[in-house]
Amino acid sequence: MYSQALNTASTPADTSEVATRFQIRIDAEERIEPNDAMPDAYRRTLIRQISQHAHSELIGMLPEGNWITRAPSLRRKAALLAKVQDEGGHGLYLYAAAETLGVSREELVDQLLTGRAKYSTIFNYPTLTWADIGAIGWLVDGAAIMNQIPLCRCSYGPYARAMIRICKEESFHQRQGYEIMLTLCRGTDEQKAMAQDALNRWWWPCLMMFGPPDRQSPHTDSSTRWKIKRFTNDALRQKFVDATVPQGLHLGLRFPDPELRCEDGHWVFGTIDWDEFRRVLAGDGPCNRERLAARRKAHDDGAWVREAAQVWAAKQTPGRKAA
Amino acid sequence: MADPATRLWEVFIRARNGLAHRHAGSVHAADPEMALQAARDVYTRRGEGLSIWVVPSDAIVASDPRDKESLFEPAGSKIYRHPTFYEVPDEVGNM
C-alpha cells in the first residue's frame, strides 16, 4: 500500500565536496546503488521513508484482515486473502530495500513495535462494514498508486525496483475495490447506503494520505533535491482527486464535501482538517493502540517459531552459531 | 530490544526455461529450506518463475564501486573488440 509524505524535516543544502559530487550524479539522473558513496542525510532520509513505507504495508494488513472471515462470497474471500498477502509481500520487498542501506530488519521491526517509527495514518481508521473493504481498495490503494508511481523513478535503485514490483501488483487491489463498490451501488438501497457511508468516512482521511500541504513544508526540500520525491504533496493530491471524483460519480455516490466543484478541468475540494491528521499521526486516532497491540501480539506469539528455527539451523550446520 | 539477526539470502529466479536465473530480491530465513519457501511466497505469487536459487548473502563476493575505473575503464578504449570497428564494403552484404 503506501508511505505517507511524513518527511517534512528538511536539511540545509550540504556544500561539502562529497555532497556536491553526489548531487551532480543525481542531477544527471544516475541511479544510486547500495555500496555507492552517499551523504549521511540521504541515507537517513531513505531509511526513514522506506521503513515507514514498509511498516505501513504491514499495519495495512490489519484493517482488511478484519474482514477475511466475513467476506460475502468465496470469490471475494479469495481476492481479499490474495490482496492482504500482497501487502505482506510489499512490506518485505521494502524492508529488504531499507536493509541495503545498512540497517537490520530486526532493528526496523523493533522501531515499529516500540512505537518509535511511524506508519501511514490511514490504517488507524476502523473497517466497520464490508463496504469499507471496497472503499479501501478503490480509494486507499488508488491514493497509494498515485503516490508510488513517481517513486518507481526515485534516485535510489533498490527502492525504485521495489516500487516497480509493487505498482504492478497494486492495480489489482484498486480494481477489486472498485468492483466491490460497483456491486453494492447496483444492489439494494441498504447496500448502496453502505457504500455511501464508507465513502463518507474514508474520503477525507484518504486526502490526508498525501501529507501536509506544500505551504507547510520548507521550499528547499531535500527529498526533492535528491530526486526521492518528484511531485509535491498538493500536486499528487490534486491528481488523485481529479482521477477519483468521476469514478465516484459513475457509482452514483456523493462526495462528503459541499465545496467540491469542477473548475478549468480540475476538481476543487474543501478544506482538509489538518488537526485530525496531526492527532492521528501523534497516536490519537480511532485504532492506533489496537493496531500496535495486534502487531506486538503477532510478534510475541511467533517468538517460539523464530527461536526453534534458529536452533534447528544451528544443529544442521555444526559450528554455526544460533544467531 | 531487537531480536537476534536471522540470516539473509539473495533470491534468483528463472522466469522460464531458456532464460538465466535473475536476481529478484532477498529474504531472511534461518536455514536453506525455509529460505526457499520464503522466496517462493515473496517472489512468485503470480507465476513469475519455474526455478529458484537462494544464496547466503554473505557468500557473495562483490566488486567495490570505488574500483569501477580500474576494473572497467580499460574496456572503454578497446573499440576494436566490436564488429562495427571493421569496415566491410556494402557490396559484400551482411557479415
Residue of A92, A303, A323 with shortest CB distance to B5: A323
Give the whole-angstrom CA distance, residue A112 versus residue A110: 5
Q: Which stretches in chain A have pLDDT values below 50?
A: 1-2, 5, 7-8, 219
Closest to A103 measured CA to CA, from B39, B83, B2: B2
Q: CB atoms < 10 A from the CB of B82, how many?
A: 8
* CA angle centred on A91, ends A214 and B52, rounded to 5°: 140
The larger pLDDT score, comparing residue B2 to residue A11, is at B2
CA A125 to chain centre: 14
Give the whole-angstrom CA distance, residue A301 versus residue B89: 75
Nearest Cα of chain A lies from the Cα of B33 at a distance, in angstroms, of 10
Give the whole-angstrom CA distance, residue A122 versus residue B27: 28
Q: Are strands B51-56 and A266-268 parallel, antiparallel or unpaired?
A: unpaired
The per-residue pLDDT for A111 is 96
Q: Find the residue in B nearest to A34 (Cα).
A: B65
Condensed to tens digits (0 to 9), the pLDDT of residues B42-79 reads 999 998 999 999 999 999 999 988 888 899 988 888 99
Q: Are strands A266-268 and A261-263 parallel, antiparallel or unpaired?
A: antiparallel
Give the whole-angstrom CA distance, residue B30 versus residue A320: 11
Give the whole-angstrom CA distance, residue B45 versus residue A73: 22
Edge to edge, what strands does the sheet with B22-28 contain?
B22-28, B8-14, B51-56
The per-residue pLDDT for A219 is 42
Give the whole-angstrom CA distance, residue A3 versus residue A228: 13
The per-residue pLDDT for B68 is 86
Q: CB atoms < 10 A from the CB of B24, how many?
A: 22
Assign a CATH topology to domain B7-61.
Ubiquitin-like (UB roll) (3.10.20)
Closest to A119 measured CA to CA, from A61, A74, A40, A76: A61
- Name the interface residues of A facing B (CB cutoff 8 Å): 33, 35-37, 82, 85-86, 89, 92-93, 96, 99, 104-107, 109-110, 162, 169, 303, 306, 309-310, 312-313, 316, 322-323
pTM: 0.90
Q: Find the residue in B nearest to A88 (Cα).
A: B42
Q: CB atoms < 10 A from the CB of A177, how many?
A: 25
Q: Find the residue in A nearest to B62 (Cα).
A: A35
Closest to B6 measured CA to CA, from A94, A162, A115, A108: A108
Sign of CA dihedral B7, B12, B15, B16: negative
Could you tell me the three cell numbers for A52?
515507514
The yes-or-no verdict on residue B19 having pLDDT over 70 is yes
The per-residue pLDDT for A1 is 42
Contacts with B8 from chain A: Cβ below 8 Å: 99
Burial B37-59, CB ≥16 within 10 A → b, else e: ebbbebbbeeeebeebebeeeee
Instruction: Kindly state whether B65 is in contact with chain A, defined as any CB-CB distance less than 8 angstroms.
Output: yes
Could you tell me the three cell numbers for A99?
536493509
> CB within 8 A of A309, min separation 6: which ones?
B6, B29, B30, B31, B34
The per-residue pLDDT for B4 is 80
Burial A139-161, CB ≥16 within 10 A → b, else e: bbbbbbbbbbbbbbebbbbbbbb
Enter the ipTM.
Answer: 0.84
What average pLDDT does range B18-30 have in this prediction?
Answer: 95
- Taken as a whole, chain B contains a residue count of 95
Burial A279-314, CB ≥16 within 10 A → b, else e: ebbeeebebbeebbebbeeeeeeeeeebeebbeebb
Written as one string, the DSSP assignment of A10-46 is --PPP-SHHHHHHHHHHHTTPPB-TTS---HHHHHHH
Q: E-strand spans in chain B?
A: 8-14, 22-28, 51-56
Domain definitions of chain B by residue range: 7-61
The amino acid at residue A271 is T
Beta-ladder partners of A268: A261
